[in-house]
Amino acid sequence: MTDRYRSLIDGRWGAASDAVPNVNPSDLDDVVGLAPSADAATAQEAIAAARAAAPAWGDSTPETRATVLETASSEIRARQGELGTLLAREEGKPIAEATAEVGRAAHLLRFFAGEALRIGGELIPSVRPGMSVEVTREPVGVVGVITPWNFPIAIPTWKIAPALAWGNAVVFKPAESTPGSAEALVDILHRAGLPAGVLNLVHGSGSVVGQALTGSPDVDAVTFTGSVGVGRGVVASAAASGQRVQAEMGGKNPMVVLDDADLELAVEACANGAYFSTGQRCTASSRLIVTAGIHDRFVERLTERMRGMRVGHALDPATVVGPVVDERQLEQDLRYLRTAAEEGGDVIGGELVERATRGHFLSPALVLGTTPGMTINREEVFGPVASVIRVADYDEALAVANDTEFGLSAGICTTSLAAAKHFSRRAQAGMVMVNAPTAGVDYHVPFGGSKGSSYGPREQGSYAREFFSTVKTTYVNPGRV
């Protein structure tokens, strides 16, 4: 069945159009949907609608906002299987992972429903006699939300839910390749009781709709997740417009495996971190930094585990690694593998795979014998590809782990508490995992990186308030009483 997507502006669904086909990467003959490609004027209409709706929504009671989020959470939970199937069809994530991502969206909405009820302030005694100081939280105003395709329902939810919880109006521009999950989320939130204009959805390209958001004086803040190249442009453009901006970008996440690691646990953590979601996660474990004493055993077991991973259609329950999202990404993955081989790496796997349907199927790849300076260890691939760097000891492992422009997530597999604690302090990353994959952060804790991976405050958890609300300091002189 082919869906026809529409934009939602000021509470009204726009006309359907056949501009952009949403093709199933597991089956190129399956067109999941057709989305419109909005022009800049349509984006401006959405911004104006949000601007008009923002004050009343900002004044609504915490319970009103919590109820909308709670209602949306319940519907998503009730429709988890159906929405998981849609996500798997349009993005290619294996059905179990896709369904789990939908469940995560339901959890996020429930968490932020609670946050809406927890908005509080502070009363601070002034240094001036008799005077008191109130610190209160207020909405930022209109928030532009720009999201990538790789978590097409979870990432929009972890931006839109806190924006609404803290009383902001939203204009949402999803990735062009995953409009279906975005539209389902917006439809559910809209019907959950949002007033017209509070949440607007504009399908369209980044260069038109995205730029309209970052260039508008009527948008107060922009939250972006995507690639480093686009993210830096978004930050520059938003800053030039005087907007508050948050950007979560790429990663080149190291996973250190020390001689004293539990071998099976390390292999499992690396296999999951590198290849689940077809490696298309900003937190994927892409550089496996392994000390000499365990290197050969680790490589042998990981290769075995990798070769046993079934590559196939996302809706086949036996599939562990789904297709690469589209042809451009597939070409990018293959190009990085060719370069790795040309620069002296030994590539295992990484072959095109044929299945009953025409899809972008690529077997997982492990590149052995790499050095930190090789392209495969410097640039984000964003596919089912990991490289192994052999090091002498922990000190060298730590230095190699930090030898990158990125700083999103870092992991270590070890049975030494001292090494784990030292790594947690010294790893230059926003998130550290001990004996666990670098990917897979809970929905109620802060998410984000350091160095070139992130710009601005953290997302998720109660920390999200730093971006989605602003504080006001009020002095109260009671006068004579």
Nearer to ligand NDP, 214 or 377 (CB): 214
* 9, 142, 170, 175: residue in contact with ligand NDP (rule CB under 6 A): 175
Q: How far is the CB of 234 from ligand NDP (least distance, A)?
A: 5
What span, in angstroms and rounded, lies between the C-alpha atoms of 249 and 449? 9
Is 248 one of the binding residues for ligand NDP (CB under 6 A)?
yes
Out of 92, 94, 210, 279, the residue judged to bind ligand NDP by CB under 6 A: 210
Contact range with ligand NDP by CB under 6 A, out of 22-30, 110-118, 192-200, 243-251: 243-251
* Chosen residue from 33, 92, 206, 411 binding ligand NDP by CB under 6 A: 206
- CA 62 – CA 149 distance, rounded (Å): 31
Q: Give residue number: closest CB to ligand NDP.
A: 206
Cβ proximity to ligand NDP, 60 vs 402, nearer residue:
402
Query: Which 3-state string (H, E, C) describes 276-335?
Result: HHHHCCCCCEEEEEEEHHHHHHHHHHHHHHHHCCCECCCCCCCCCECCCCCHHHHHHHHH
Q: Considering only residues 144 through 173, tell me which ones interact with ligand NDP, judged by CB under 6 A.
A: 146-151, 173
Give strand pairing partners of 452: none
Q: What DSSP string runs through 181-227?
A: HHHHHHHHHHHTTPPTTSEEE----IIIIIHHHHT-TT--EEEEES-
Using the rule CB under 6 A, is 249 a contact of ligand NDP?
yes
Question: Is the distance from CB of 415 to CB of 262 less than 8 angstroms?
Answer: yes
Which candidate in 248, 379, 380, 459 is catalytic?
248
Site string for ligand NDP, 75-114 (x = CB under 6 A): ----------------------------------------
Closer to ligand NDP at the Cβ: 226 or 364?
Answer: 226
CB of 91 within 8 A of CB of 98? yes
One residue of 26, 181, 225, 278 binding ligand NDP per CB under 6 A = 225
Q: How far is the CB of 425 from ligand NDP (least distance, A)?
A: 22
CA separation for the pair 115, 460 (Å, rounded): 11
- Terminus-to-terminus CA distance in the chain, angstroms? 72
Distance CA 447, CA 472 (A): 26
Least spacing, CB of residue 240 vs ligand NDP, in Å: 13
In whole angstroms, the minimum distance from the beta carbon of 22 to ligand NDP comes to 11
Q: Which of 103, 210, 199, 216 is nearest to 151 (CA)?
A: 103
- For residue 248, indicate whether it is catalytic: yes
Rounded least distance, CB 447 to ligand NDP, Å:
7
Of 9, 49, 230, 334, which lies in the binding site for ligand NDP, with binding defined by CB under 6 A?
Answer: 230
Cβ distance to ligand NDP smaller for residue 167 or 384: 384
Asked if 279 contacts 385 with a C-beta cutoff of 8 angstroms, the reply is yes
* Binding status of residue 250 toward ligand NDP by CB under 6 A: yes
d(CA 202, CA 182): 10
Q: Which of 70, 176, 351, 466 binds ligand NDP (CB under 6 A)?
A: 176
Instruction: Using DSSP, state whether 69 is helix, strand or coil.
Output: helix
97 is catalytic: no
Q: If binding is defined by CB under 6 A, does position 461 make contact with ligand NDP?
A: no
Handedness of CA 87, 91, 96, 100 (dihedral sign): negative
The Cα-based distances of 376 to 151, 356, 398, 468 in angstroms read 24, 31, 18, 36
Closest residue by Cα to residue 429 from 443, 417, 441, 444: 441
Q: Which residues contact 431 (CB under 8 A, 6 or more apart)?
A: 283, 408, 409, 410, 438, 441, 447, 448, 449
Single residue of 226, 350, 383, 384 touching ligand NDP by CB under 6 A? 226
Confirm or reject binding of residue 437 to ligand NDP (CB under 6 A): no
Are 224 and 246 in contact by the 8 Å Cβ rule? The answer is: yes
Taking CB under 6 A as the binding criterion, the range among 131-139, 230-238, 300-308, 314-322 that sits at the site for ligand NDP is 230-238
Residues ≥6 apart with Cβ < 8 Å to 375: 336, 339, 340, 343
Q: Kindly state whether residue 441 participates in binding ligand NDP, applying the rule CB under 6 A.
A: no
Q: Which two tokens stand for residue 379?
A: 């640039």
Q: Is 233 in the site for ligand NDP (CB under 6 A)?
A: yes
Q: Shortest Cβ distance from residue 296 to ligand NDP (Å)?
A: 31
Residue with tokens 């604690």: 421
Asked if 118 and 407 touch (Cβ cutoff 8 Å), the reply is no
Q: Mask: binding to ligand NDP, 345-384, rule CB under 6 A, as x and -?
A: -----------------------------------x-x--
Q: Which C-beta is closer to ligand NDP: that of 66 or that of 170?
A: 170
Q: Is 23 in the site for ligand NDP (CB under 6 A)?
A: no
Nearest to 466 by CA among 250, 155, 251, 223: 223
Number of residues engaging ligand NDP in binding (CB under 6 A): 30
Determine if 326 is a binding residue for ligand NDP (CB under 6 A). Answer: no
Determine if 323 is a binding residue for ligand NDP (CB under 6 A): no
Of residues 45, 75, 282, 379, which has the active-site annotation? 282
Using alpha carbons only, give the angle 248, 153, 387 rounded to the nearest 5 degrees. 55
Residues within the interface to ligand NDP (CB under 6 A): 146-151, 173, 175-176, 205-207, 210-211, 214, 225-227, 230, 233-234, 248-251, 282, 380, 382, 408, 453
For the annotated catalytic residues, the residue numbers are 248, 282
